[in-house]
Structure 1
Amino acid sequence: MVLINLHIISFIMLLILFYATYENFSNKQGPTPLFKSLHMTMRLFMVFVLITGFWLIAKAFTSADASHMLLTLKMVGGLSIIGLMEVTIARKKKQVSNRSLFIWTWVIVVITAILGTILPWGPITALFH
């Protein structure tokens, strides 16, 4: 249970840091003084999310009560979120059009969060045990 909470808290912190990093780079004035530290902290939380996510997926695949298809779909969603975040920030730094990537990142975040809540170890499923 502690690992799931750590994963969820790391994921929420990652989303907050992604938004803060994205907004701390102006297309006209460039990066703010906080941009680099926010970006590095965002990457640190990406590592936390990846480690806890892989630990949870390994634990789930060894148990018999897991829905492997939904777990795999959530894992692909989580990895795509990490990739989209990095590409969005990189394109923002290069001052290339990135608004659609920013929106698609948040769409996949919502889909992955919904998958995470309905999985066997998710918070909604835990209410009914």
Structure 2
Amino acid sequence: MVLINLHVISWIILLILFFATYENFSSKQGPTPLFKPLHMATRLFMIFVLITGVWLIANAFTSAGSNHMLLTFKMVLGIAIVGLMEVSIARKKRKAPSRGVFIATWAVTVLTIILGIILPWGPLTQLFH
């Protein structure tokens, strides 16, 4: 249970840092002084989220009765989110169109959160056990 809380707190902080990092780079004026530290903190929390997510997946795969197909899909979506975050920030730094990737990142994030809520160990599943 503690690991799930650490994972959830880490991705909440990651989403906040990602938004702050993305918005601290202006297409016209370039990066603000906070951009580089925010980007590094975002990458650090990406690692935290990936490590805790892999740990949770490993625990879920060893337990009986888990829905491995949906868990694997959620893991793929989680990795996709990290990739989309990096791509959207990199595109913004290159002054290439990045708003579409930014919106796609949030759309995949919402889908992953919904999937995490309904899967085993999620809040809705815990209500009925």
TM-score by length of 2: 0.99
**C-alpha offsets along residues 22-76 of structure 1, whole Å, 9 cap, x if unaligned?**
0000011100000000000000000000000000000000111210011001000
**Could you tell me the percent identity over the aligned residues?**
72
Partner of 1:90: 90
1:82-126, CA deviations, whole angstroms, 9 ceiling, x for partnerless residues? 000001000000000011000000000000000000011111111
Structure 2 gaps of 5+ residues are none
2:5 is matched with which residue?
A: 5
**Partner Cα distance (1:38, 1:114) in 2:** 27
1:112 aligns with 2:76: no
Q: Quick one: distance in 1 between partners of 2:81 and 2:93?
A: 18
Instruction: Output the CA distance in 1 between the equivalents of 2:123 and 2:32.
Output: 37
**Paired amino acid for 2:4:** I
Unmatched runs of 5 consecutive residues or more in structure 1: none
CA distance in 2, matches of 1:2, 1:128: 20
Aligned residue in 2 for 1:20? 20
Q: How many residues align?
A: 129
Q: Determine the structure 2 residue equivalent to 1:38.
A: 38
CA distance in 2, matches of 1:58, 1:7: 14
1:71 equivalent in alignment to 2:71 = yes
Checking the alignment, whether the CA contact within 8 Å between 1:65 and 1:120 is kept in structure 2 is: no
RMSD: 0.5
- Give, in whole Å, the separation in 1 of the partners of 2:100 and 2:51: 28
One-letter amino acid matched to 1:103 = I
Q: Give the distance between the partners of 1:122 and 1:44, measured in 2 at CA.
A: 25
CA apart distance, 1:128: 1.6
